[in-house]
Amino acid sequence: MDHVSVATDSPLRGWNRLSPHHTTPELSDIGHWKTVAEELHRRGYSEEELKKIFGINLVVLFRKVLPP
């Protein structure tokens, strides 16, 4: 589970003028991502795996590729 992550791709201030932003209605709000995490947990993903999927893996990647 060290190479998997999700991101919301939420529009940043100003970016929505450059291109339209498309969302899935069920995932259009950050609060809905809790439901995704709960379902993954119900399907057997551990708390540690969920932490990696929902953030830690991206932090590790950013630390490796971005300058300090």
Which pLDDT tens digit goes with each residue over 45-56? 999 999 999 889
Quote the radius of gyration of the chain (alpha carbons, Å).
14
Token pair 């609060």: residue: 31
| pLDDT band with cut points at 50, 70 and 90 for residue 7 | confident
d(CA 30, CA 26): 10
Is residue 13 scored above 60 in pLDDT?
no
Amino acid residing at 60: V
| Total count of residues recorded for the chain | 68
d(CA 46, CA 32): 19
Token pair 């209605």: residue: 25
Is residue 23 scored above 70 in pLDDT?
no
pTM listed for this prediction: 0.69
